[in-house]
Structure 1
Amino acid sequence: MRIEFVKLQGNGNDFILIDEMEAEVIPEDMKSKFAMLFCDRRFGIGGDGVLFLSQSDSEDVRMRIFQPDESEPEMCGNGIRCLVRYAFDREYITGECTVETGAGTIPVVLGYDENGEFSATIQMPIPAFTRGRIPATGDPDSEYSEEIGTYQVYAVNTGVPHAVVFVDEIGAIDPSILGPVIRNHPTLPEGANVNFVEKVQDRVLRIRTFERGVEGETFSCGTGATASAAVAQRLGYVGDDVLVETKGGPLRIRLGEIVTMSGPAEPVFIGMLQF
């Protein structure tokens, strides 16, 4: 069958979006295979995941995401920005909305500024530092801090599990080599995204992220930027307003009783595929 899709990106974290607001387009038992096939950058469209937009019984819209390895993570920060950008442009939602995800309800404020630039501010899940909620092995009420190889590794859940490693020079790190070692460490039974973080200034971090499910480095990761800022604040490296520089551009993280992540999202192209 012929299916319309939209390609979007948030700071270079790119997604294929399938609009299922009117009816299911990809059968439930085929969604994971669809993601595996069409996220392929040689034989498919290419993307870090497939977003499925549908109606919700409790919120304004519902988002599901499937990754190239056929897994379905609870949520994706950059993916939500891309999804609400599309939904806003299609007038499915207004400038304030809620998105149903596997990690719970995500409130969003979005729109265009005076220069015509689009931005979305996502209210992220409150970072969870205990092993029981990451999840990680060991005392479920203790925080995660492990020596893996020569690195001190911290972990937190910001909707999905993240490991955070602070380094002196991020340009000297190869996430494709170090990432899988930490991502698959036995203390992280469900695996984790892995963020390598360099403190650039008092309010600026620079990160590179190896993503679980993509099984490679991505240009940006919203939950990873949030995780990196949250761990850095907990260690006293930064305050509550942090600019996180990813390979694809900056994200603004604000920490407190409410945690937010702000950044852009842009459509790339619309197309038809055969499935």
Structure 2
Amino acid sequence: MTEIKFTKLHGNGNDFILVDEFENKIPDDKKSAFAKKYCHRRFGIGADGVLFLSSSGRGAPLRMRIFNEDGSEAEMCGNGIRCFAKYAFDVGHISTGKTKVETMAGILEIEARVENGKKLVKVCMGKPLFDRKKIPATGMGDLINVPLHGYEVSAVNTGVPHAVIFVDDINDPGLMSIAPQIRYDKIFPKGANVNFVSREMGNLRVRTYERGVEGETLSCGTGSVAAAAVARRKGFIRDSTVVKTVGGELKISFEHDIAYMEGSAETVFTGTLNFDESSL
């Protein structure tokens, strides 16, 4: 039995357990089972996913891996990387200013700063990918306003695959019941997060059904970027917008087609758990 330190954080209500592997190493072949066990909201700590922080050695000082509550590993997570950066900032792994983090979606640049006593993180999310030829691993891209399950669906990859659907009534109770059909449609070989979006003046309101969580989350960072990218391509917004999610707001901006996401992250609590590797 080993005592494992952890930190619980959230970004706009999208919550995570973070394990700092400079202090406690979870074997790679146990990470999936670890996430399934401890993300459980009744028999575990409770979270949408687990973030593992370690050294990179690939052109960045830190590496982030994220496992969803169903045990699947995600390429990236927008709210997750802000929580990751917030923790790294708090404990001294990084300081204010710009640094880089290795993810499965590539090496991303982040910028941490303090504003009015609040720690904010700006993440360079890269260029949203619409061209199917550039992302053969997902088979997605170049799909705009495709009729699917009664909706017009647009696809974009912002680190992970997303379906974006503009609707008149964002509070329609039927949206989350149709989302799994879109999430598992064969048009998305690796599945997709499903984002329902409504326009509010120059801003957007988004609800997201997340792959790996298999339900609605309070916020999705990559989904907010995806919604803004599709809205920009359609001419609904210019180069900056505020995306309002159930859990809070994110500022999404574009510079020469490169997307940036900015928002806060909060530490909820810290603790230790008794980890028995043989029980996984």
Letter in 1 for 2:103: T
RMSD: 1.5
Q: Secondary structure at the match of 1:177?
A: helix
Name the structure 2 match of 1:180. Answer: 180
TM alignment of 1:82-93, pairs within 5 A: 82-93=83-94
Name the structure 1 match of 2:168. Answer: 168
1:175–1:209: 8 Å Cα contact kept in structure 2? no
| Structure 1 length-normalised TM | 0.94
Deviation for aligned residue 1:142: 3.9
1:8–1:82: 8 Å Cα contact kept in structure 2? yes
Name the structure 1 match of 2:66. Answer: 65
Distance in 2 (alpha carbons) for counterparts of 1:238 and 1:142: 19
Deviation for aligned residue 1:38: 0.6
1:207 aligns with 2:209: no
Distance in 2 (alpha carbons) for counterparts of 1:117 and 1:197: 28
Deviation for aligned residue 1:125: 2.0
Instruction: Describe the superposition over 1:145-167 as per-residue Cα deviations: whole angstroms up to 9, x where unpaired.
Output: 42112200000000000000000
> Where does structure 2 lack aligned partners over 5 or more consecutive residues?
276-280
Name the structure 2 match of 1:219. Answer: 218
2:60–2:101: 8 Å Cα contact kept in structure 1? yes
Distance in 1 (alpha carbons) for counterparts of 2:172 and 2:255: 32
TM alignment of 1:231-246, pairs within 5 A: 231-246=230-245
Distance in 1 (alpha carbons) for counterparts of 2:141 and 2:68: 30
TM alignment of 1:21-36, pairs within 5 A: 21-22=22-23, 25-36=25-36
> Where does structure 1 lack aligned partners over 5 or more consecutive residues?
none
Q: Secondary structure at the match of 1:224?
A: helix
Moved over 4 A (4+): 134-137
Name the structure 2 match of 1:112. Answer: 114
Name the structure 2 match of 1:230. Answer: 229
Letter in 1 for 2:48: D
Distance in 2 (alpha carbons) for counterparts of 1:141 and 1:222: 19
Name the structure 2 match of 1:51. Answer: 51
Distance in 2 (alpha carbons) for counterparts of 1:75 and 1:246: 19
Instruction: Describe the superposition over 1:166-207 as per-residue Cα deviations: whole angstroms up to 9, x where unpaired.
Output: 000101144431110100001111100000000011x21000
